Structure 1
């Protein structure tokens, strides 16, 4: 083609591709037509030859300029490709992390429900003790001495209260034959035992009512089981909370890396179109966010996506503002 017959203007090329340093016009239509059309036509042959010679000269000039140009490293293109791939990889990681967050959230909610249930069960079995009143006999010291029988003292029988005989705390003798509790037959009128089974004591057995706490073992067993289950589920819930927090931190770190990678890429290629490259990825992120069942989690995910979209829009707008 020639300058006057070019398919698009220099301005359009500069806007869509890049501003050219030098423009070369070449007519290659000779390769598109059957040579028989112009080979035996003197006028047409002259026109084709003229355009061919002109194009060949242009091509020679192009080769000359190329050979005189300084070598330019293509390492930047490799770096650009690596950065772009890393950005997309981080986005894929965020999508997977979003799925993992939803799964952990589901488990966490299930754990909370189980905690409430086991907590209720635990409370329902908490009253596994009861009180019971019992009657006991208890010895107390007294100022006077009584005559007691070794056989009947346990049931609280006092054969002679406030006995005035000489004190004898030992049984087995005939000392108590003179005690007023002894009958004419030589046996105790109270307990019917021999004098040798009697002795003196300055204690008295009194009856006392006492309240004791009694454990209902069957109820306590159910309480212990509910308490064990409650603690186990509580531990699971704590682990899910930690995992949930770690996943949130991981997603935030992924976004930070994306922002940094985009910044690094724009420094190498200021005309990189982030919108075209990442539009499909962002749409996939939106679809993943719509699958989140928790309202708060969905709002957070959508907010992060909007921040990313705003960021890449600003990068792309900066491209056109330069033009």
Structure 2
């Protein structure tokens, strides 16, 4: 064998070894990409779930109408016991006696609701006021629902961060794999200059078949299609 032939054979061997080395590396890249894609899909599903939970628990405030008692001036007098005012008790509404603000006298003795100096309703003294009602609307926080909302919101943010990180990692892995594909393509071109009939796909058939079996084992349809596309790309690079 001439020195030229020996050198060509050695160069071809080096190219073949380099290509095989890059094949191993890109195969690992494909496995990593599949793993990250799978985790990204899980994060995206969890993100959608927590978003639905946030919407379901977002109405954690409710309005409540309460009735309050209030004393105001009126055109008539009502006898109300100051000791029983909190009990919502009016001793004599629209009492016909004149208004009397002083205490310690017998002004109300003539009231038809008074007997033996005592009120027949509350058994106490009284003064003339009118008791009315007004309503107020209060906003009330449903603490149990707010707790569920806060928890869903916290988880949603975490899954959002995870999804963003996985997408960034996936992009970096794909860029790295693309660089290896280009290197394989370049090496195949150089090898074909030395041996135009060399079929690298046949030599790597075992590697490619193993990759095909791994792709078939992927349950996710999109992930499986991505893996098959990468294998087809690898075959195309080796043939060109």
Instruction: Calculate the TM-score normalised by the size of structure 1.
Output: 0.51
SS of the aligned residue for 1:275 comes to coil
Alignment of 1:95-244 (within 5 A): 95-111=27-43, 122=53, 126=57, 136-139=67-70, 141=72, 143-144=74-75, 145-160=77-92, 161=94, 164-166=97-99, 168=101, 172-174=103-105, 176-177=107-108, 180=111, 183=114, 185-194=116-125, 198-201=126-129, 203-206=130-133, 215=142, 217=144, 225=151, 228-229=154-155, 231-244=157-170
Q: Which ranges of structure 2 fall in alignment gaps of 5 or more residues?
A: none
Alignment of 1:9-48 (within 5 A): none
Q: Note closer, same or farther for the CA distance 1:175–1:255 as it changes in structure 2 (3 Å cut).
A: farther
> Which stretch of the first structure deviates more once superposed, 140-149 or 110-119?
110-119
Q: Which ranges of structure 1 fall in alignment gaps of 5 or more residues?
A: 1-12, 19-73, 312-323
Task: Select the structure that is richer in strand.
Answer: 2
In our comparison, the structure showing a higher alpha carbon Rg is 1
Count of residues in Structure 1 that have an aligned counterpart in Structure 2: 230
Larger RCO, structure (CA 8 Å, separation 6 or more): 2
Structure 2 match to 1:255? 181
| Structure 1 residue 260, shift from structure 2 partner | 4.1
Q: Note closer, same or farther for the CA distance 1:163–1:214 as it changes in structure 2 (3 Å cut).
A: farther
SS of the aligned residue for 2:179 comes to helix
SS of the aligned residue for 1:143 comes to coil
* C-alpha RMSD of matched pairs (Å): 4.8
Instruction: Calculate the TM-score normalised by the size of structure 2.
Output: 0.64
